[in-house]
Structure 1
Amino acid sequence: MGVQLHRGAVAEVILDFPPVNAVPAAGWHALADALVAAGADPRTRAVVLAAEGRGFCAGVDIKEMQRAEGHDALLAANRGCAAAFAAVYDCPVPVIAAVHGFCLGGGVGLAGNADLVVASDDATFGLPEVDRGALGAATHLSRLVPHQLMRTMVYTCRPVSAWQLHRFGTVLEVVPAAGLRRAAHRVAAEIAGKDPLIIRRAKESLNGIDPVDVKRSYRFEQGFTFELNLDGAGDRARERFLEGR
């Protein structure tokens, strides 16, 4: 349980926070550390980011946040998310996200910063942040869907399917759930068969030509989450969510 790192030419980083992979603040930092460690290993040529359980990631652990007094838990979660998303983006080798079930909130941050996404045929992607009293990861959602759809998803909290993203070209393959890891490892192995120095320079060069600074953009979004929390709107929305309203 927690974050697992399996080293090798194709390293594997696994999220495992039962029952729904709602990741606590420390878990986001552990994920960032695992990704940094994988990328720092000279043997690593690609990384598969996957998850155990019912879904890829349900975002932050709202129950942890509501149990804590003051703003420390919120700040820790937001810093943890920023660190984990940045670790995916900055990993010096390509990161392939293997997404199954639900990919929500912080899960979109991870998948949106990945170099490639392979998904199971039951996978859905969504940003329920407005219903949770927060904002963030629209930066990463905009890397997966067209701009107007991104806005619709933020305002309405509606999810989209892996098949829809496949039509946009932002999900490489949609496969049965039983074959998801195998499909992710297949494309990772294809990348790992290339010259490792050239692949690392390719990753660096592609990050360098990105039109949006994803780290700065996400931190800008997070500022509005802080504002909503200070206003009390964030806390009220989280309580409604936990009460099932």
Structure 2
Amino acid sequence: MTISTQLHDNGTFVVTMDYPPVNALPVAGWFRLAEAVREAGEDPAVHVVLLRAEGRGFNAGVDIKEMQRTAGHDALVGANRGCYLAFKAIYECAVPVIAAVNGFCLGGGVGLVGNCDTIIAADDAYFGVPEVDRGALGAATHLARLVPQHLMRTLYFTSRTIAANDLVQHGSVLETVPAADLHDAALALAAEVAAKDPRVIRAAKAALNGIDPIDVNRSYRYEQGYTFELNLIGAADEHRDAFVATGRPLTD
């Protein structure tokens, strides 16, 4: 179980998540991911970052089983802080970050890609934020960067998913390709960005962040406050326990 990195000769820095079986990252994984992306942006040899995953899907969010088997609140606090730092690292990375999404992209996965600069996906990929079904809140900030406001609210309240092909229509996913071609297509896109003058690209990334109408770091932190409230009243534990025991939402 790792976060691995590889720097290509053209300046493409590939970050790969590999946490079987579903890439639900443990606390340490979120912190390692944040560190890898942050260090990539600080390296002048890096022109672009490509975030990808091995296995059945891109990311299934936090490791709920780790959270429920850990006494006290250390895992909860760690997961929340780790997610915040990983999302922040991607958004504030000094170079563009491209997400190559395979299979499912859920919960914290949407937090990751919502802060990326470009998304390319397999044609069978899908996205969703099932936080309501887990007794938590979060990543609405990032889901709102993928779909219009009313659709975001519907997806959020219902925990429904949306296909990558549908997100192409909304302009948030650049394109979808056959799953077998995803890595090569993502590398080709990254190479196109990497070929630009890195001084200009870094300035462009800073400029685009500077004119962003939403402070994503502050917005997500606000959401997390409600997650802590739900934990204090016991609702979150009830939902997480039900998911660990049955794999289904408590309301089923």
TM-score, normalized by length of structure 2? 0.96
Kept after mapping to 2: 8 A contact 1:7/1:38: no
Long gaps (5+) in structure 1: none
| Corresponding position of 1:81 | 83
Q: State the alpha-carbon separation in 1 of the partners of residues 194 and 224 from structure 2.
A: 35
Give CA-to-partner distance per residue, 1:115-135, whole Å, 9 cap, x none.
Answer: 000000110000000001100
Q: Give yes or no for contact 1:6–1:12 (8 Å, CA) kept in 2.
A: yes
Aligned counterparts of 2:182 and 2:89: Cα–Cα separation in 1: 23
TM-score normalised to the size of structure 1? 0.99
* d(CA) in 2 for partners of 1:4, 1:87: 16
Answering whether residue 116 of structure 2 is matched by residue 94 of structure 1, we say: no
Match of 2:52 in 1: 50
For 2:184 and 2:50, the matched residues in 1 are separated by: 10
| Identical amino acids, percent of aligned pairs | 62
The CA distance in 1 between the partners of 2:167 and 2:96, in whole Å, is 20
State the alpha-carbon separation in 2 of the partners of residues 40 and 21 from structure 1. Answer: 26
What residue in structure 1 maps to residue 193 of structure 2? 191
Return the letter of the residue paired with 1:209: I
Q: 2:105 is paired with a residue of what secondary structure?
A: strand
Alignment map for 1:100-111 (pairs within 5 Å): 100-111=102-113
Q: d(CA) in 1 for partners of 2:178 and 2:112? A: 21
What is the DSSP-based 3-state SS (H/G/I as helix, E as strand, rest coil) of the residue aligned with 1:50?
Answer: strand
Cα distance in 2 between the residues matched to 1:231 and 1:70: 15
Aligned residues: 245
Amino acid at match of 2:215: D
SS at match of 1:119: strand
Map of 1:17 onto structure 2: 19
Aligned counterparts of 1:168 and 1:75: Cα–Cα separation in 2: 34
**Matches of 2:14 and 2:209, distance apart in 1:** 22
Alpha-carbon displacement from aligned partner over 1:183-231 (angstroms, at most 9, x marks no partner)? 1111111111111000000000000000000000000000000000000
Deviates more, 1:34-43 or 1:194-203: 34-43
Q: Shift of residue 36 of structure 1?
A: 1.0
- 1:144 aligned partner, one-letter code: L
Q: CA deviation at 1:38?
A: 1.2
Corresponding residue number in structure 2 for 1:6: 6
Number of the residue aligned with 1:133: 135
One-letter amino acid of the structure 1 residue matched with residue 216 of structure 2: V
Residue 99 of structure 2: SS of its match in structure 1? strand
CA distance in 1, matches of 2:52, 2:87: 14
Unaligned runs of 5+ in 2: none
Of the candidates 202, 205, 213, which is equivalent to residue 203 of structure 1?
205
- Using the alignment, how far apart are the partners of 2:150 and 2:188 within structure 1? 33
Alignment partners' CA distance in 1, 2:162 and 2:219: 23
The C-alpha deviation readout for 1:6-32, integer Å capped at 9, x for no partner, is: 123001000000000000011000000
Please report how far the alpha carbon of residue 93 of structure 1 lies from its aligned counterpart in structure 2 after TM superposition. Answer: 0.4
RMSD of aligned Cα (Å):
0.7
Letter paired with 2:237: D
Summarize deviations over 1:123-173 as a string: whole Å, max 9, x none: 000000000110000000000011001000110000000001000111001
